[in-house]
């Protein structure tokens, strides 16, 4: 069966996909507000993933007008190693720590959608810019 053939080589295909992930990201999940002894409120955060990544524009990317806003439909896809990034979820914040594209370094993105796929070679997440 074709499925059996693909399932047998899937670990190798995932290793090939990961070899293309030349950038490094840190994914954090914000927690509950915390008040320190001086009364300052901060948000705690937990490291969800740190490691290899690849940025990609999905095909079919378009710009559209919503009210007075110019919006990019499609956004940016973040590709992460499949097994190592299983805990990344919508709402997490991604910071680009190192990249072959220096314009990405230091940029922050919010995870806005997760893509599930049978026999995936990488974990693909749609992200949108949230700051620098």
Where residue 100 sits, what CATH number does that domain have?
A: 2.40.10.270
Structural domain includes residue 18: yes
| pLDDT at 10 (0 to 100) | 93
Structural domain that includes position 28: 2-32+42-60+71-131
Query: Residues 93-124: pLDDT tens digits?
Result: 999 999 999 999 999 999 999 988 888 999 99
Q: Is 88 helix (H, G, I), strand (E, B) or coil?
A: coil
Structural domain includes residue 65: no
Structural domain includes residue 66: no
Please tell me the total number of residues recorded for the chain in this structure.
132
| pLDDT at 127 (0 to 100) | 95
Structural domain includes residue 95: yes
Structural domain includes residue 91: yes
How much is the pTM? 0.80
Query: Residues 1-28: pLDDT tens digits?
Result: 788 888 899 999 999 999 999 999 999 9
Single out the residue of 28, 83, 103, 18 nearest to residue 52, CA to CA: 18
Query: Residues 26-53: pLDDT tens digits?
Result: 999 998 888 888 989 988 899 999 999 9
Question: Rounded to 10 degrees, what is the CA torsion of 109, 115, 116, 117?
Answer: -120
pLDDT of residue 132 exceeding 60: yes
The β-bridge relationship of strands 108-115 and 69-73 is: unpaired
| pLDDT at 68 (0 to 100) | 61
Looking at the structure of the chain, the number of domains it has is 1
Query: Residues 49-95: pLDDT tens digits?
Result: 999 999 998 765 555 555 665 555 557 999 999 999 999 999 999 99
């Amino acid at each position: 069966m074709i499925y059996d053939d693909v399932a047998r080589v899937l670990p190798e295909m995932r290793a090939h996909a990961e070899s293309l992930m030349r950038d490094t990201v840190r994914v954090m999940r914000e927690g509950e507000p915390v008040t320190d002894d001086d009364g300052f409120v901060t948000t705690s955060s937990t490291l969800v993933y740190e490691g290899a990544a690849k940025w990609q524009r999905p095909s079919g990317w378009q710009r559209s007008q919503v009210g007075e806003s110019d919006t990019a439909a499609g956004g940016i896809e973040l590709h992460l190693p499949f097994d190592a990034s299983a805990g990344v979820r919508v709402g997490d914040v991604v910071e680009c720590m190192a990249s072959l594209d220096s314009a990405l370094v230091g940029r922050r993105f919010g995870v806005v959608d997760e893509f599930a796929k049978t026999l995936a070679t990488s974990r693909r997440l749609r992200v949108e810019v949230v700051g620098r």
